Amino acid sequence: MTKTKVAIIGSGNIGTDLMIKVLRLSKSLEMSVLVGIDPDSDGLARAKRMGVATTHQGIDGLLEMPEWQDIKIVFDATSAKAHLYNWEKVKAFPDKKMIDLTPAAVGPYLVPPVNFDLNMEVSNVNMVTCGGQATIPIVAAVNRVAKVHYGEIVASIASKSAGPGTRANIDEFTETTSKAIEEVGGAEKGKAIIILNPAEPPLVMRDTVFTLSENANQEAIRESIHQMVAEVQKYVPGYQLHQAVQFDEIPETEPVFIEGLGHCHGLKTSVFLKVVGAGHYLPEYAGNLDIMTSAALATGERLLKQTTKV
């Protein structure tokens, strides 16, 4: 089977972990080039040891490499600001697809089990954020049973798993995730909160999802959530419910006030998740990074499969 060649821009934790996933797990993608800007980074050194071509001159260096001609998919694991520059370069090549792991949100938001089919034709897709990948499937699972008025997510990650890129993108994280809760998850109003937990030893990623929806059959919502968890587990085995799904009815006589929506009543659904990393390059507690690289890999493989069908 001929594999499709890919490049990864960003030789930090996320880019390096994604590279290892491509090398170890993918049956359809071939790792061609790892791109960085620090010639002494561990990611570039590791890539060289694994026989992967490298450049420390960023996207401009990649464009000068002979490998560029055969690359069809480019993963961007840098930062929101850097992605804007990288995309300006890549979009000049119509035969390339870009999968953006930053919160830049140049292209449409993509969460594989929710809205992949709506975005297979575009040239640049955005993987939202780690919190978005973990929680938006749950909001969508509730919304397909009962209209979600409000969706709120709290993503708690180990401080040690938040590198310079993650810390530089905190504002973009909250903005991008909130918008994606609405645009992909289906909520009328979305809110996202991220917590960097300094606990030692580091704790695995924990995500809490609250939705306020129309009243509906609770068992149907619970079943929809469990089905969605199973879909995510196909590409993120460490994704799981941490507790049973909980329900609270908010009566019309005792509504809650939600900014932007006013006084609301209905069914409150609370979902508690944890994400344990696969431990390919990153420690298991870094589930927040693992879910991003796993979702990106799944997107690249599925994108290739759909394109081949077409």
Cβ atoms of 56 and 36 closer than 8 Å: yes
Q: Decide if 266 contacts 198 (C-beta within 8 A).
A: no
d(CA 273, CA 291): 13
DSSP state of 2: P
Taking Cα atoms as reference points, which of 123, 127, 101 lies closest to residue 113?
A: 127
Check if 130 is active-site: yes
Tokens 């890129």 found at: 165
Identify the active-site residue in 34, 130, 273, 282: 130
pTM: 0.95
Structure tokens at 45: 């050194």
Query: Could you list the pLDDT tens digit for every one of the 310 residues in the chain?
Result: 789 999 999 999 999 999 999 999 999 999 999 999 999 999 999 999 999 999 999 999 999 999 999 999 999 999 989 999 999 999 999 999 999 999 899 999 999 999 998 877 899 999 999 999 999 999 999 999 999 999 999 999 999 998 777 888 888 899 999 999 999 999 999 999 999 999 999 999 999 999 999 999 999 999 999 999 999 999 999 999 999 999 999 999 999 999 999 999 999 999 999 999 999 999 999 999 999 999 999 999 998 876 555 4
Query: In whole angstroms, what is the distance from residue 235 CA to residue 133 CA?
Result: 12
CA distances from 8 to 26, 40, 53, 60, 140 (A): 14, 17, 11, 13, 30
CATH of domain 130-285: 3.30.360.10
Domain coordinates of the chain in residue numbers?
Answer: 4-127+290-309, 130-285
Rounded to 5, what percent of the chain is helix, strand, coil?
40, 25, 35
Q: The domain 4-127+290-309: what is its CATH number?
A: 3.40.50.720
